[in-house]
Amino acid sequence: MHWLRFLVTWIVLLGLGLAIPGCNSPPDRARMGPLILISIDGFRWDYLQKHEAPTLRRLAAGGVHATRLTPSFPTKTFPNHYTIVTGLYPAHHGIVGNWFYDPDAGTTFGMSKPESNTEEHWWAQGEPVWITAERQGVHSFCYFWPGSETQNHGLRPNRFKPFDGKIPTNERVDELLRWLEGPDAERPGLCTLYFDVVDTKGHKFGPDAPETAAAVAEVDAAVQRLLDGLARLGLRDRANLVLVSDHGMSPCGPDRIIFLEDLMNMAQVQVDATGPVGGVRPKPGTITAAELAAQIRAKVPPQLHVWLRDETPERLHYRGNPRIPDVVLLADDHWNFESRTGWPVRAPTYNRASHGWDPATPNMGALFIGSGPAFRHGVELPDVENIHVYNLLCAVLGVQPAPNDGDQRLVRAALRR
Q: Which residues are catalytic?
A: 77
Distance separating alpha carbons of residues 113 and 39, to the nearest angstrom: 21
Burial code (b: 16+ CB inside 10 Å, e: under 16) for 314-332 equals: eebbbbebebbbbbbbbbb
Residue positions counted in the chain? 417
Residues 6+ apart with CB under 8 A from 217: 51, 52, 53
Helix, coil or strand: residue 111: coil
CA–CA dist 46, 59 (Å, integer): 15
> What is the rounded (10 degree) CA torsion for 198, 71, 36, 160?
80
Q: Is 106 exposed, middle or buried (0-12, 13-18, 19+ CB in 10 A)?
A: exposed
Which element (helix H / strand E) includes 67? Answer: strand 64-70
Phi-psi region of 356 (alpha: psi -120 to 50; beta: other; left: phi over 0): left
Alpha carbon distance 283, 326 (integer Å):
11
CA distance 90 to 78: 9
Q: Render 308-343 in DSSP notation, one character per residue.
A: EGGGS-GGG---S-TTS-SEEEEEPTT-EEE-STTH
Q: Are 264 and 292 in contact (CB under 8 A)?
A: yes
CA distances from 262 to 16, 226, 270, 295, 370 (A): 56, 51, 15, 11, 47
Q: Please return the burial class of 343, using the count of CB atoms within 10 Å of its CB with bins 0-12, 13-18 and 19+.
A: middle
Distance CA 90, CA 136 (A): 25
How far apart (Å, rounded) are the C-alpha atoms in residues 122 and 100?
A: 11
Spell out the residues 6+ positions from residue 284 whose beta carbon is closer than 8 angstroms to its own: none
DSSP string, 354-379: E--S-TTSGGG-EEEEEESTTB-SSE
